[in-house]
Structure formats: C-alpha cells, structure tokens
C-alpha cells in the first residue's frame, strides 16, 4: 500500500508555489513558477505533474482553484501560520512580504495558531513589487539588490512609501549625484519601517519568522533584526511556506 | 423599463435616467446578496417587498399623506427623535446615504478624504436620485462628527427647498451636555410645530412615544431571538430590518417584525436556522450601514459565519432603551425623551466608555465568538475608537478584527481574505 500524498498550492500575485508532503508531513517536492497571465493554466500543469491524493489551495487565487479543482481552500494567513510553525517552532510572529502584499501574524506560543494579524492596505507600497521597481530604477538586478544596499557606507532617508512618489524621489537623488548603494539602503529601510509598524501592532517580543520572496533579500533580514532588536529567522524556502502550510492542512484534514 | 412611478419621480424632480440606473444596480445587488440566501424566514417577504418599493409605493404613501396635510421630515442620525415628529403630525424618514453616486460632482464640494456616508448624502442630492430627500418638508442635520457638521453648511445651499434644520448635539455626558440636548429637543419641537402648524400636546407626545416604544419593543424581541444557535435569521436579513426601521410606516413595521418573530420562535423550537448550528457567530460593531450598504455582511455571511448583532446606529444604537411615557406635562415628557437619547453611545462623545461595555454585553447576550469592528475610511470618531475597542476586547479574551473600508468594491479581495482568516481563527 503506497503512502498518501497531500498537496498545497499558493497562488500569489507574482508567483505560484506547489508543495507535496507525505502522510507524516515530510516534503516530497516543491516547485515554483511565475503567476503569469493565466494562473489557472499554470496551476493545472502543476496539479497534473505532481501526483497527490488531496489538494488544498491558498493565496489570492485560491477561489480560482476552488472552481477549477473543486478543492478546499484556506486563507494565506492560516496557511502561513501552519507552514512557518512547522518549519521553525517557538516563534511569536510571522512577517510575510510577498509580491504585492504584506502581512504580520501573531502566533500562540504552543500551538502556533493565529492569534492576530495585520495586512497592508490596498496598494503595493512596502511589498516586493516596490523593491523590484526601485532595483530597476537604480540599475541593480533584483537578486543582488539587497547585497548592494548592505555595502553602502551611509543611508539616505527616503521619505515616501508610495511607489510612484518614491520613484521621483530616487530620480532626483540620482540627479544630485547621490550614491546608488546609499539610496538602495534607504529604500530597504523604508520598507522595514512599514513592516516593523505592522509587527509592533500585533506582537512586542519573541522571534519572528520572515517568509515570502522578500525574505531572500539579505539586507531586509539584517535591517529588520537590527531595527526590531529581535531574532529574525528565515525558513529554508521562505517563498514556499504558504503552499507548505496548505499541504499540511490538507494532511490534517484527513487525520481528524 | 417603465415603472408606474415614473410620473411621481418626475414631479419630484428626480433625474429619471440616473434614477433608473440606480434602481437597476440596487435591484441587482439585492438579488445577488439577499434573494440568493438559503433558509430565509417567510416573514422576510414583507421586507423584500418594502425594499422593492422603497422608492415607489412608500414614497407614494408619504406623498398621499403630505397631500392630506401631514409633513415629511428627513434625518441622517439616530439623535433626531421620531417621537416629536409623530406628535407634530409628521413622518420621519431616514435619508439615503449607503452608496456612491455622482462622485465627480461630490468631489467638487467635499474634500476627497471625506467619509463615504457624507459623500453619499451629497451624491444622492447632486445626482437627483433620492425621492425622500426631494419630497421632505424639512431636512434635519445634526452636529455629530466634524465631517457632518461642516458638510451641512454646504448641503444647506444645495437643497432645492433650502429646508435644512441643524440640531446641536453635546459631546460629553455631563449635566451641561444633557441640558444642551434637552434644549435642542425643545427647540426642535417648536420647529416641528411651526412646520406642521400643529400644537404638540401631552397626549400627542405620549402617543408618539408609545408608537416608537412599541416599534423598539418589536426590535428588542427580534434581537433576543438571534441569540439562539442555530441563528434563526441571517445577519443580512436582520440588518435589512434595521435599515427599514427609520423609514417605514411605524405601525406596519412593528406588525411585520412581530410576525417575523412569531415565525422565528417556531424555527428556534424546531432547531431550524438560517445557518447550521455551530456556525461561527460574529458581532458587527462600529459605523452605520445605510441602504444599500451590504458589503461587509455579505462578505462575512458568504465566508462561513453568521452575524448575530449590530452594535451600530443601523442596529442596536438606534433601538436600545425605551422612553418613560408616564409624564403628565410636556416638560416631563421631553425630560424622558432626553433621558433615552442621551444614553446613545455614539463615538462623537468623549469619553465613551459605555460603548465598550455595550459591546462586551452584546457579545455575551448573543453568544458571539468574535467582533468585527467596521470603520468607514476617514470616519475619525469610530476609527479612533476602534483601537481602545480592540484593546478592551483583547483584555476580555474576545477575538476582534478591525476593518476599514468604504462603499467601493476595489478592496473586496483584501476584505474577503481578512474576514475569512478571522473566521478561521474562531473555529
């Protein structure tokens, strides 16, 4: 008798993650691709490629999956709490910064269940998209944007959090001959301030698990820990935490 | 589409094209949100009818009364006493402010960062689509929040009949505050008398008090029934009853609510509900939801929870507490009226600790599992108060979600995620 396989799919605004776990919650495979213009097609391929017994969908595209695959859904809040707690136990909060949204989740210490959460408002300020646009403006590849910012000798304060206003602020700084890396560091810091505000509203001490694509940025993780004076822990694959959580919740749903 | 009421609307000066467009949107939304609900009580058919004729038969009825010498008074706030209007041979109607309309025109007169409710008030006037506003003999504004207070200065200039009356409202629950409110109610009584030409007597004022007490008593009956699990009625349907409360004929409304309650009692006995037993139960607290603002309740009840109470002006804030009708002088009756309205725990008061207490009491009384605090964007009093509310609820170990939104649909995805995640928390 072969063991059962449980899949989780997280359809975000920028990327789709797909994780399969076995009946003990051990990850069997994990795949990521761009959301693109036809997320349903991407999802269909992923579902077809990775055999599984039960699927759970999360992320902003979860209702697309509900219709397409007739599968149960869970919000990204609960999925992240589950996935992060399974990866690293004992943390008191999660910060997730994705492509176009960010959220802070406070956890109950023992169970890892959601205690409270905050989400950013309607626009993409303070998310991965903000950093992506700013990296392009400054001529850095996104992958090394954080490293370059860490190398800065000083930090230039960026006052605007709005992507459009910050863009013109950056343009005028470049025109004045300011150091590119110092501007980059200032931009990272403005995202940190906003994220720290969210974290502080829901949790005032303990370790923080940082998830989402932006957690791969070394400058973000370093500055966040410095700014909050709290330990910031990064799971092995921070982008796949939502999908992992969904897969684990699919597993739990069959185990009563 | 040719409505039998078109001639009436035209006579009232409505813009027929815009008005038809509004009715179409309203009808569509009602169909999607209300008529698609499962397990509705049969007694809701009356409210379906009221809503389908909200700009039709009800207006005709008011106009017929008007032709016979009765006056129509429009209001935007639960501080305006219906008792005094009724005593002076006038009908009180709540005015439309629950949907965005003619926003480009509105933003010529109001700053963009004005709350949706105030903008809507202006939109319905500028778009010429509210038959209540156009038919009213007197429009009562009130100094509650700063937004409304200042907006009335401009509203006064754009009302065709220039018939705005502004009532002052205290901001503190002090002896002086009460005296202010009492003085304003006396002044309002004189204004109503002047409008209608009817002298208010002890008998007519008592009659007015009794009529509204009876109406509130019927609502109290409905509120209590919602404590049952399974909830016998959806939050959307109960909200509709609350939305119709200030505008319908009082006697007919009371009768319809009582009939609905008779049915709900039988449902409870049979353990039947609008939702299955053990469905997570939510109390909504905060800003009012005027017709046709069904946005948040629709999200909540399509996400697997049921709303069991509204701590709101379209809800318990307008129906809580009765008025002693035993007074034998006008002064004594005005005192009794003031006593009731002075207890209203609107967020314009400072401090406003009664409200925190009421929210906790309601959670207990209706067996709610959590509270969603509903704040309209740019509504300073309620948004400010949402943080102490959340803290107080946390101290009492009651889960709370604060949402801030408006009448637009652009944040529906975000809103749905937040609400769903909150409901997951309650399970």
Q: How many domains does chain A have?
A: 2
CA distance to A32, A100, A161, B304, B384, per residue, from A210 (Å): 18, 16, 21, 30, 30
What pTM did the predictor assign? 0.93
Q: Which residue is it, tokens 């503190």?
A: B172
Q: What was the pLDDT predicted at A120?
A: 80
- Residue B347: its pLDDT value, please? 98
Choose the mutation target among B417, B418, B420, B427 for the interface with A, i.e. most A CBs under 10 Å.
B417
Based on the fold, state whether residues A2 and A66 are members of the same structural domain. yes
For residue A76, the chain B residues in CB contact (below 8 A) are 417, 421
pLDDT at B1 over 60: no
Nearest to A122 among B410, B420, B424 (CB): B410
Indicate whether A16 and A50 sit together in one domain: yes
User: B interface mutation test: which of A59, A77, A107 has the most B CBs within 10 A?
Assistant: A77
- Mean pLDDT score across all residues of chain A: 93
One domain, residues A81 and A97: no
Q: Inter-chain contact B424–A77, Cβ cutoff 8 Å? A: yes
Q: How far is CA A60 from the centre of its chain?
A: 13
d(CA A182, CA A162): 19
pLDDT of residue A256: 66
Q: How far is it, in rounded angstroms, from Cα B363 to Cα B403? A: 18
Q: Do B421 and A122 touch (CB under 8 A)?
A: no
Does residue A102 share a domain with residue A33?
no
Residue B96 has pLDDT above 90, yes or no: no
The answer to whether A104 faces chain B, any CB pair under 8 Å, is: no
Are residues A46 and A146 located together in one domain of the fold? no
Comparing C-alpha atoms, which of B217, B187, B192 is closest to residue B204?
B192
Q: How close B407 gets to chain A, by Cα (Å)?
A: 14
Q: CB of A6 within 8 Å of any CB in chain B?
A: no
* Statement to judge: residues A44 and A157 lie in one domain: no
Q: Check whether residue A3 and residue A38 sit in a common domain.
A: yes
State the virtual CA torsion across B388, A120, B280, A242 in degrees, nearest 10.
-140
| 8 Å CB contact of B417 and A114 | no
Q: Is A211 left (phi over 0), alpha (psi -120 to 50) or beta?
A: beta
- B421/A114 touch (CB, cutoff 8 Å), yes or no: yes
Q: Look at residue A1 in the predicted model and tell me its pLDDT.
A: 45
Handedness of CA A181, A187, A190, A195 (dihedral sign): negative
Q: What is the mean pLDDT of residues B161-173?
A: 97
**Residues present in chain B in total:** 427
- The ipTM of this complex is 0.88
Using one digit for the tens of pLDDT, what is the confidence trace for B208-250? 999 999 999 999 999 999 999 999 999 999 999 999 999 999 9
Where is average pLDDT lowest: A1-5, A139-143, B322-326, B379-383? A1-5
DSSP string, chain A: -PPPEEEEEEE-SSEEEEEEEETT--EEEEEEEE--S-HHHHHHHHHHHS--SEEEEESTTHHHHHHHH---B--HHHHHHHHHHHHSTT-SEEEEE-SS-EEEEEE-TTT--EEEEEE--SS-TTSHHHHHHHHHHHT--HHHHHHHHHT-SS-------SHHHHHHHHHHHHHTT--HHHHHHHHHHHHHHHHHHHHHHH--SS-EEEESGGGG-HHHHHHHHHHHTS-EE--SSGGGHHHHHHHHHHHHHH--
pLDDT tens-digit series, residues B11-33: 999 999 999 999 999 999 999 99
CB B135 within 8 A of CB B71: no
Question: Is there a contact between B396 and B364 (Cβ–Cβ < 8 Å)?
Answer: no
The distance of B414 to chain A (nearest Cα, Å) reads: 7
Question: Taking CB atoms and an 8 Å cutoff, what residues of chain A touch B421?
Answer: 75-78, 114, 117
pLDDT, position B169? 98
CATH number of the domain that residue A80 is part of = 3.30.420.40
Which tens digits make up the pLDDT trace of B192-213? 999 999 999 999 999 999 999 9
Residue A164 in this model has a pLDDT that exceeds 90: no
Question: Largest Cα–Cα distance of chain A, in whole Å?
Answer: 69
Q: Are residues A229 and A249 in the same domain?
A: no
Between CA A122 and CA A163 the distance in angstroms is 13
Distance in angstroms (rounded) separating the CA atoms of residues B26 and B52: 9
Q: Which two tokens stand for residue B313?
A: 């002006």
Contact (CB, 8 A) for B280 and B305: yes
B152: which 2 tokens?
Answer: 């009335």
Nearest residue, CB atoms, A119 vs list B410, B418, B424: B418
- A216 and A114 part of one domain: yes
CB contact residues (below 8 A), chain A span 49-78, against chain B: 60, 74-78
Note whether A44 and A126 are same-domain residues: no
Domain that holds residue A66: 1-88+240-256
Residues A39 and A135 in one domain: no
pLDDT for residue A121: 67
Tokens 């802070």, residue located: A104
Q: What is the DSSP letter of A89?
A: T
Q: Looking at residues A17-24, what average pLDDT do you find? A: 97
Rounded Cα distance between B174 and B160, Å, is: 38
Q: Are residues A213 and A252 located together in one domain of the fold?
A: no
Confidence of residue A218 (pLDDT cuts 50, 70, 90): very high
* Average pLDDT value for residue range B76-88: 98
Interatomic CA distance for residues B293 and B239, integer angstroms:
10
Sort residue B13 into left (φ over 0), alpha (ψ -120 to 50) or beta.
left
| Predicted pLDDT at A99 | 84
């Amino acid at each position: 008798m072969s063991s059962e396989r449980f899949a989780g799919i997280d359809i975000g605004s920028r990327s789709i993650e797909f994780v399969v776990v076995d009946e003990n919650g051990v990850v069997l495979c994990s795949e990521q691709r761009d959301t693109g213009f036809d997320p349903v097609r991407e999802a269909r391929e992923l579902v077809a490629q990775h055999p599984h017994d039960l699927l759970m969908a999360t992320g902003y595209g979860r209702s697309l999956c509900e219709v397409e695959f007739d599968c149960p859904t869970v919000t990204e809040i609960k999925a992240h709490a589950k996935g992060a707690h399974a990866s690293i136990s004992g943390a008191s909060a999660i910060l997730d910064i994705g492509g176009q949204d960010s959220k802070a989740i406070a956890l109950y210490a023992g169970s890892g269940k959601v205690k409270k959460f905050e989400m950013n408002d309607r626009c993409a300020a303070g998310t991965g998209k903000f950093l992506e646009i700013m990296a392009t403006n400054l001529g850095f590849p996104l992958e090394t944007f954080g490293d370059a910012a860490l190398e800065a000798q000083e930090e230039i304060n960026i006052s605007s959090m709005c992507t459009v206003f910050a863009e013109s602020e950056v343009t005028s700084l470049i025109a004045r001959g300011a150091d590119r890396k110092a501007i980059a560091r200032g931009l990272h810091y403005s995202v940190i301030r906003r994220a720290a505000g969210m974290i502080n509203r829901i949790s005032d001490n303990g370790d923080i698990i940082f998830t989402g694509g932006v957690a791969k940025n070394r400058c973000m993780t370093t500055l966040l820990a410095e700014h909050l004076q709290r330990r910031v822990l990064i799971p092995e694959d921070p982008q796949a935490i939502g999908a992992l959580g969904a897969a684990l919740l699919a597993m739990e749903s069959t185990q009563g | 589409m040719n409505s039998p009421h078109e001639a009436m609307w035209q006579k009232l000066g409505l813009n027929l094209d815009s008005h038809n467009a509004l009715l179409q949107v309203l009808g569509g939304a009602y169909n999607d949100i209300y008529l698609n609900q499962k397990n509705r009580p049969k007694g809701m058919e009356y409210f379906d009818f009221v809503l389908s004729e909200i700009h039709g038969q009800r207006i005709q009825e008011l106009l017929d009364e008007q032709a016979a010498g009765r006056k129509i008074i429009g209001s935007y706030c639960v501080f305006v006493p219906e008792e005094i209007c009724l005593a002076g041979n006038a009908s009180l109607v709540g005015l439309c402010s629950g949907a965005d309309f003619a926003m480009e025109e509105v933003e010529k007169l109001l700053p963009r960062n004005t709350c949706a409710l105030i903008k809507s008030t202006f939109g319905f006037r500028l778009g010429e689509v509210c038959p209540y506003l156009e038919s009213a003999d007197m429009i009562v504004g009130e100094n509650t929040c700063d937004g409304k207070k200042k907006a009335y200065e401009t509203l006064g200039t754009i009302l065709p009949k220039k018939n705005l009356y502004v009532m002052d409202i205290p901001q503190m629950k002090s002896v002086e505050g009460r005296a202010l409110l009492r003085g304003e109610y006396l002044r309002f009584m004189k204004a109503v008398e002047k409008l209608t030409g009817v002298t208010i007597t002890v008998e007519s004022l008592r009659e007015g008090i009794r009529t509204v007490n009876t109406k509130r008593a019927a609502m109290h009956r409905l509120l209590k029934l919602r404590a049952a699990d399974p909830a016998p009625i959806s939050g959307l349907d109960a909200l509709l009853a609350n939305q119709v409360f200030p505008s319908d004929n009082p006697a007919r409304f009371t009768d319809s609510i009582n009939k609905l309650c008779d049915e709900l009692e039988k449902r409870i006995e049979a353990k039947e509900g609008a939702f299955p037993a053990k469905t997570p139960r939510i109390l909504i607290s905060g800003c009012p939801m005027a017709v046709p603002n069904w946005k948040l309740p629709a999200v909540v009840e399509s996400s697997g929870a049921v709303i069991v109470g509204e701590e709101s002006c379209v809800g318990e804030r307008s129906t809580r507490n009765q008025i002693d009708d035993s007074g034998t002088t006008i002064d004594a009756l005005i005192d009794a009226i003031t006593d009731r309205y002075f207890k209203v725990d609107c967020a314009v008061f400072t401090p406003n600790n009664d409200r925190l207490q009421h929210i906790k009491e309601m959670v207990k009384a209706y067996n709610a599992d959590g509270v969603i605090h509903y704040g309209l964007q740019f509504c300073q009093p309620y948004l400010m108060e949402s943080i102490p509310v959340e803290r107080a609820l946390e101290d009492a170990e009651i889960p709370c979600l604060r949402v801030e939104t408006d009448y637009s649909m652009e944040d529906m995805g975000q809103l749905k995620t937040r609400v769903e995640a909150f409901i997951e928390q309650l399970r």
